[in-house]
C-alpha cells in the first residue's frame, strides 16, 4: 500500500473541494448555527422571557422527563426552572442534531471527490496513474472522512465552550459536556462519517452530477432526524449505552457498505461511465 499516493489524492481532493462553494458553504454555516447560534438562543431565552412562559414550556418538559431513565431524571433534581430548561435543551435536545454534521461533511466532500471528478472530466487521467484501485479509493475516502470527523470535533469543542460560558451565570459552574456526549463524539461521529462516504460511493455510480450525488446521499440525514424526533418525543433518549449500541449498528452497516463500495470501485467500471 503506497500511503504517499493515498495522502496525495486526499490532499488534492480537499484542495479541489475547497474551491467548490457548494461544498464548503455548508461546512462553515452549519457548525456556526449548531455550535453558536442555537445554544445561545436556548440558554439566553429562559433568562429573558417571562417565567410563566418558561413554566408552560416546562409543563411539557415534565411530561417528557417522566419517560426519562431514572439516571437522567436525577440530573434535574434540585434545579431551578431556568436551569432545567437549559440543561434539557443544551444537554439533551440538541445532542442528536450534532450527528448531522459528520454525515453532511463526508457526503458533501465525497460527492465532490467521487462524482465531481467524473463531472469535470478529470477522472481518466487519474485512472492512468500508477496507483491501485484500492489506493485510489482510500485517498478519496480519507479526503471526505478525516475533515468530516475533524470539523465535527471542532464544532463540538466550540459548542462545549459556548454552552459553559453562556450558562455559567445560571449554574455557577462548568457542567457540560454530559457523559452521553463522549461516545457520541468519539464512537458514533466517526461511524457516521464513514457511513456518509460509503453510501456516497455507492450512489455515485448511479448519478451524473455532484449535486445529484450530494442530494441523494444527504437523504441519510433522515436517519439522524429519527433520533432527533425520538429524543424530543421522549421515545428514545440518547444515554451512553444507547449511543454505544447505535454506534455498533452503524459500524456494522459501515463494514457492509464499505465492502460493497470497494468492490464496485474499480477502473473498468469507472471508465465505462466516462
Which is closer to other proteins, CB of 88 or CB of 214?
214
Told to check if 3 binds other proteins by CB under 8 A, we report: no
Residue 248 CA to residue 191 CA, distance in Å, equals 8
Which is closer to other proteins, CB of 5 or CB of 83?
5
207 exposure class (CB count in 10 Å sphere: 0-12, 13-18, 19+): buried
Residue 49 CA to residue 39 CA, distance in Å, equals 16
Which is closer to other proteins, CB of 13 or CB of 82?
13
Residue 67 CA to residue 24 CA, distance in Å, equals 40
Told to check if 56 binds other proteins by CB under 8 A, we report: no
Site string for other proteins, 8-37 (x = CB under 8 A): xx--x--xx--xx-----------------
Which is closer to other proteins, CB of 2 or CB of 80?
2
Told to check if 1 binds other proteins by CB under 8 A, we report: no
Of positions 32, 41, 71, 271, contacts other proteins by CB under 8 A:
271
Task: Give me the torsion for CA of 139, 141, 144, 145, rounded to 10°.
Answer: -110
Footprint of other proteins on 114-133 (CB under 8 A):
120-132
Could you list the residues that contact other proteins (CB under 8 A)? 2, 4-5, 8-9, 12, 15-16, 19-20, 120-132, 267-268, 271
Amino acid at each position: 500500500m503506497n500511503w504517499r499516493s493515498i495522502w496525495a489524492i486526499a490532499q488534492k481532493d480537499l484542495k479541489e473541494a475547497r474551491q467548490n462553494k457548494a461544498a464548503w458553504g455548508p461546512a462553515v454555516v452549519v457548525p456556526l448555527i449548531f455550535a453558536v447560534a442555537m445554544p445561545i438562543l436556548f440558554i439566553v431565552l429562559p433568562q429573558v422571557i417571562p417565567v410563566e412562559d418558561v413554566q408552560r414550556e416546562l409543563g411539557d418538559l415534565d411530561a417528557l422527563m417522566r419517560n426519562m431513565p431514572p439516571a437522567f431524571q436525577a440530573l434535574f433534581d434540585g434545579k431551578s426552572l431556568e436551569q432545567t430548561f437549559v440543561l434539557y435543551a443544551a444537554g439533551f435536545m440538541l445532542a442528536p442534531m450534532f450527528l448531522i454534521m459528520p454525515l453532511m461533511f463526508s457526503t458533501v466532500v465525497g460527492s465532490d471527490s467521487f462524482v465531481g471528478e467524473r463531472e469535470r472530466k478529470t477522472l481518466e487521467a487519474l485512472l492512468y496513474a500508477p496507483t491501485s484501485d484500492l489506493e485510489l479509493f482510500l485517498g478519496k475516502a480519507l479526503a471526505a472522512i478525516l475533515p468530516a470527523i475533524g470539523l465535527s470535533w471542532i464544532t463540538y469543542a466550540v459548542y462545549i465552550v459556548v454552552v459553559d460560558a453562556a450558562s455559567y451565570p445560571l449554574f455557577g459552574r462548568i457542567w457540560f459536556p454530559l457523559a452521553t456526549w463522549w461516545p457520541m463524539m468519539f464512537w458514533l461521529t466517526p461511524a457516521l462519517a464513514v457511513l456518509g462516504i460509503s453510501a456516497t460511493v455507492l450512489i455515485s455510480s448511479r448519478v451524473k452530477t455532484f449535486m445529484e450525488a450530494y442530494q441523494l446521499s444527504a437523504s441519510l440525514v433522515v436517519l439522524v432526524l429519527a433520533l432527533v424526533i425520538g429524543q424530543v418525543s421522549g421515545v428514545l433518549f440518547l444515554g451512553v449505552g444507547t449511543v454505544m449500541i447505535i454506534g455498533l449498528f452503524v459500524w456494522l452497516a459501515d463494514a457492509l457498505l464499505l465492502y460493497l463500495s470497494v468492490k464496485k470501485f474499480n477502473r473498468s467500471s469507472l471508465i465505462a461511465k466516462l
